[in-house]
Amino acid sequence: MRVRRTVLPGGLRVLTEQVPATRSVSVSATVGDGSRDEHHGHFGSTHFLEHLLFKGTPSRSALDIASAFDEVGGDANAATGKEATTYYARVLGSDLPMATAVLLDMVTSAVIRPDDVELERGVILEELAMADDDPGDVADEAFATAVYGAHDLGRPIGGTPDTIRAVPREAIWEHYLGAYRSASLVVTAARAVDHDELCAMVTEAAVAGGWELDPSAAPAARRGGDSPPLEGGTGMTLTRPTEHSTLILGGRGLEAASANRFTLSVLNSVLGGGMSSRLFQEVREKRGLAYSVYSFASSHTDAGLFGLSAGCAPEQVATVAAVMAEQWDRMAQDGITERELLRAIGQLCGSLVLGLDDVGARASRLTRAELTFGELWSVEDSLESLRAVTAEEVRVLAGELLARPRSLVVVGPDESDLAADLLYGLS
Amino acid sequence: MRVRRTVLPGGLRVLTEQVPATRSVSVSATVGDGSRDEHHGHFGSTHFLEHLLFKGTPSRSALDIASAFDEVGGDANAATGKEATTYYARVLGSDLPMATAVLLDMVTSAVIRPDDVELERGVILEELAMADDDPGDVADEAFATAVYGAHDLGRPIGGTPDTIRAVPREAIWEHYLGAYRSASLVVTAARAVDHDELCAMVTEAAVAGGWELDPSAAPAARRGGDSPPLEGGTGMTLTRPTEHSTLILGGRGLEAASANRFTLSVLNSVLGGGMSSRLFQEVREKRGLAYSVYSFASSHTDAGLFGLSAGCAPEQVATVAAVMAEQWDRMAQDGITERELLRAIGQLCGSLVLGLDDVGARASRLTRAELTFGELWSVEDSLESLRAVTAEEVRVLAGELLARPRSLVVVGPDESDLAADLLYGLS
C-alpha cells in the first residue's frame, strides 16, 4: 500500500492509494469550497451546487448521469461540508474510467439551467424540512451556531429555507465559476486503482470539459489560519413537539492539525467514546437516563468543536446535563486512570486499523489530508502518536477545554429558555 | 473463498467464509427468535433481552463486556428482528477468540438481574421515544402493521411503551430460557477466520456457559410455512407535528425464498431502486416533489412486503401518492423496456459483487441463508438468476402485486383520515 500524489497542469491534484487484491475502487472529486466560503447573496449556493451538478452537462442529461452509475451497480453521491464539497462514487475497478469521466464532466461542465434551479429549489426545501424533523440534525447544526456565533463556520451547511428561497440562479452560477477550478480540485481514489492511469483519465476529462490547464499553475493554498475568535457561551433552546429531548453541552475544541489532536482522541474515548466510557456508564448503565449518550470532536482547518450529547426524557434534561458537566469536571480535576488510558489507546489504534477495511475510508482520508491537514499522516505515525499520549496530558487538556466558554443546546418540547437557565447553573 | 458449515453437538450451527488476505473478522451469534415469536404476556421481551444480555453474566460485568470490545477497537452491537435476534462484533482476526468467548458467554449465561431489568426498562422507553420522533421509523413500523394486520408479523419489533412497561422480569426470563438454546443458535464469521478453530472456540465457550451439548441433537427446524393470510388494504394516518410528510404505498410482497425473488429485485430496481429509477425521475427529477423517494422489498420466511416510499410537503401527499400509483399501474400494464431491464440487471449484479467488500455483509448473508432461506445461494448462482429475468416476468409480477390488497401509510401533520381517503381514491 502506497500513497502517491501528483500535481497535474492547472494545479489539479490527484492522490491515490492502491490496495492489492481488491476489486472495487472509491473515487472522489472534491473542491475546497464549502458553506463557510459563501458570501452575502450567495448563502445556500454551495449546497445548491451539490444538487445542480447532477442535473446535467452539454453531453450528459441528469438521467445519463444517474444511469451511468446505476447500470454498473455503483454508488454515487455527494456531500457538502463547511470547507469542501465532494462528489464520489464506488464502483468495480473496471468501471473507474467511466466514473472518473462522469464525475469530472459534472465538475467542469455543469449547465445549471434556470428551470432546473427552480425545480431543485423545491427538492432542497424538502430536504431541509426533513432535516428539521430530525431532532439530532437540528441539535448538531444549532450547536455549531451556538459555539461559532456569527463566524462563517456558524452557518448551517445546507443553508436555511430563507436563503434557499432567496438565492438567485446568477449567484449560484458565479459561485460555480469561482469555486470549481482546477487549482482547487482534489481527485482521490483508493483500492483498485493505478495512479498513472487515473492521472491520465483526469487530465483527459478535464480538458474535454473545457478547462485550460496551465502547466505552471500551482494548487490553491490551504485555507489560512484565521482562527475564529472565541465567542461567549450560548444557551439555545429549540422548541420542538418531540417526545424526547436532545442536548449537547460543549464548546470549542481543536483545529484539525493541532499537535494535541491525539490527546483529544484519548480524552473523547474515555469520556464518551464507547460502551465502556464514563458517560455511557454513568448516564445509561448506572442511571438508565438515556438510550444514546456520547461525546464527540469535530474539526476544521482553523477551529474545532468538542461536545457531550444525549437524548433523554424532557424531564431529565437538567439531570443529564448535570451528570455530563460533573464527568467533565472530574476529568479535568482528577484525570484518567492508567487502565482507562490503555483501553482508550487500544480502542483508537484498533479502530484505526479496522477502519482501513472500510470501503470509502481511504479515499476520504487522502482528501482530508490534502485539504484540511496539509500533510498525510501515515497510519504508523498515527498509531505511534496515540501510544505516546499520557494520562496527565489528558487531564490538562480536559481543563483547557473546560476553561473555554461553554454552550448548551436543547431540542425538545420545553417552551421556556431551558438551555440558558441550565447553562447559568453549570458555570 | 469457501463457505463451510458444521453442526456441533447440541445442534449448534457454525458457518464461516474465510477470505484470504483480510485482517478483520465479523462474527455473530444469532438465535432464531424474534418479535413474531412472542406470546401474550411476553410482548417486548425479545428486544428487552437484546439489551439485557449486555448487562452481565456470572463471570463478566456489563463494564467487562463493554471494555472487552472497546479496548481492542472493536464494534459490538445487537439487533432484534421479527424472526431472529443477533449479537455481533467486528474485530481484528487475532481478537476473534475474545469476541467469540464474550458473545457466547452473553448468549449462554445472562443473569438478568431484577434491578437491571428495571433500569433497562427506562432505557428502552427512551429508545422507543427516540424512534417515535423519527417519521421514517414510524412509517416503516406502521406499514408492517397495516399490511400484516393482527398477524404476529404486524407487531412492532421493539415492543410498544405499554408492552415494555408491562412485561415482568419472569416473562423475560422464561423467554430467554426457551429461546436461547443450542439448537436455535447460529454462529457465523467471515473474512479472517479459520473454520475449525472457530468451531473449537464455540464448543468450548458453550460448555463453559453451562450448556449441555447433546451429541445427537439436531438444529431447530427452519420456521414453518404458515404464510399469513392476505389482509384487506388499510389506510393509516399517523398525525405528527412534522414539517414534511412521509408516505408508504404498498402491500404484500414475496417470501424470502420465493422463486420470483430475482424478478422482484429487477422490478424494484426499475421502479424505485436508484437515481435512474422511474420514481426518482418522475417524482424528484421531473416534478421536484420530494427529496427522498424509492421503492423497497423486504422478506421473511413465509411473507414479505413491497412498498413505494417518499417524503414530501404535506400539501403534496395526494399528488405524490397518485404519481406512485400511476407508475406502478404503468409497469403492470406496459412492463419495462429492454434498456431498463439491462440497467437493472447491471445494477443488481454490480452491487451484489461490490457488496462482498462490505465488512459485515458476508457474515450476515450466511446467517440469513441458514435461518431464512434454508440454503446458501452462491453469488454465482444469484448472478445467473438475475441475468435470466425477462421484461415479461417483471410485467406479470407487477400485475400480481398490484392485484393484492394495498395499504397506504401517511405520517405527517394531517389530522383527517387522509390515508384512507387517498387509498379509496386510488383503488
The predicted complex's ipTM stands at 0.92
Instruction: Indicate the burial class of B150 (C-beta count within 10 angstroms; 0-12, 13-18, 19 or more).
Output: exposed
3-state secondary structure of A190: strand
Strand arrangement, sheet containing A304-312: A235-239, A406-412, A245-252, A304-312, A290-299
CB A176 within 8 A of CB A49: yes
DSSP labels for A109-168? Answer: H----HHHHHHHHHHHHHHHHHHHT-HHHHHHHHHHHHHHTTSGGGS-TT--HHHHHH--
How many residues are there in chain A? 427
Element (H, E) at B295: strand B290-299
Is B204 one of the annotated active-site residues of the chain? no
Order the strands of the B304-312 sheet from edge to edge: B235-239, B406-412, B245-252, B304-312, B290-299
What are the two backbone dihedrals, phi and then psi, of residue A80, each rounded to the nearest 5 degrees? -100, 135
Other Cβ atoms within 10 Å of B298 Cβ, number: 16
How many angstroms away from the CA of B27 is the closest CA of chain A? Answer: 14
What's the mean pLDDT when you consider all of chain A? 95
Whole-prediction pTM = 0.94
| Domains of chain A listed by start with CATH number | 2-208 (3.30.830.10), 235-426 (3.30.830.10)
A359 touches chain B (CB under 8 A): yes
Taking the C-alpha atoms of B396, B400, B402 and B403 in order, what is their torsion angle to the nearest 10 degrees? 130
* Choice among B50, B255, B282, B340 that is catalytic: B50
**What pLDDT, on the 0 to 100 scale, is given for residue A31?**
98
Mean pLDDT of A26-53: 95
pLDDT of residue B223: 87
Interval B234-243 mean pLDDT: 95
Distance CA A130, CA A119 (A): 17
Contacts of A239 (CB under 8 A, 6+ apart): A412, A413, A414, A415
Q: Is it the case that residue A43 has pLDDT exceeding 90?
A: yes
Task: Kindly report, residue by residue over B357-371, the tens digit of the pLDDT.
Answer: 887 889 999 999 999
pLDDT at A262: 98
Measure the CA–CA gap between A110 and A100, rounded to whole angstroms: 15
pLDDT at site A232: 85
Q: Is B253 exposed, middle or buried (0-12, 13-18, 19+ CB in 10 A)?
A: buried
Alpha carbon distance B281, B276 (integer Å): 6
**CB within 8 Å of chain A, chain B residues 158-197:** none
In the numeric block, the cell 449448534 is attached to B12
- How far is B269 from B345, CA to CA, in rounded Å? 8
Kindly list the residues from chain A whose CB atom is less than 8 angstroms away from the CB atom of residue B241.
Answer: 241
Whole-number average pLDDT of chain B: 95
Nearest CA-CA partner of B282 in B240, B236, B328:
B328
pLDDT of A225 reads: 63
pLDDT digits (tens, 9 = 90+) for A131-188: 999 999 999 999 999 999 999 999 999 999 999 999 999 999 999 999 999 999 999 9
Residue A224 predicted with pLDDT over 80: no
Report which residue type is found at B238.
L
- Picking from B125, B130, B291, the nearest residue to A126 by CB comes out as B291
Q: Is any Cβ of chain B less than 8 angstroms from the Cβ of A357? A: yes
pLDDT of residue B1: 59
pLDDT digits (tens, 9 = 90+) for B194-204: 999 999 999 99
pLDDT higher than 90, residue B401? yes
What span, in angstroms and rounded, lies between the C-alpha atoms of B427 and B414? 21
Q: What is the pLDDT of residue B359?
A: 79
Phi and psi (nearest 5°) for B422?
-65, -40
Instruction: For residue A20, give the C-alpha cell.
Output: 492489492
Band of residue A1 on the pLDDT scale cut at 50, 70, 90: low
CB A310 within 8 A of CB A293: yes
At A322, is the secondary structure helix, strand, or coil?
helix
Residue A189 C-alpha cell reads as 481514489
Chain B, 101-130: which have a CB under 8 Å from a chain A CB?
118-127, 129-130
Burial class (CB in 10 A: 0-12, 13-18, 19+), A137: middle
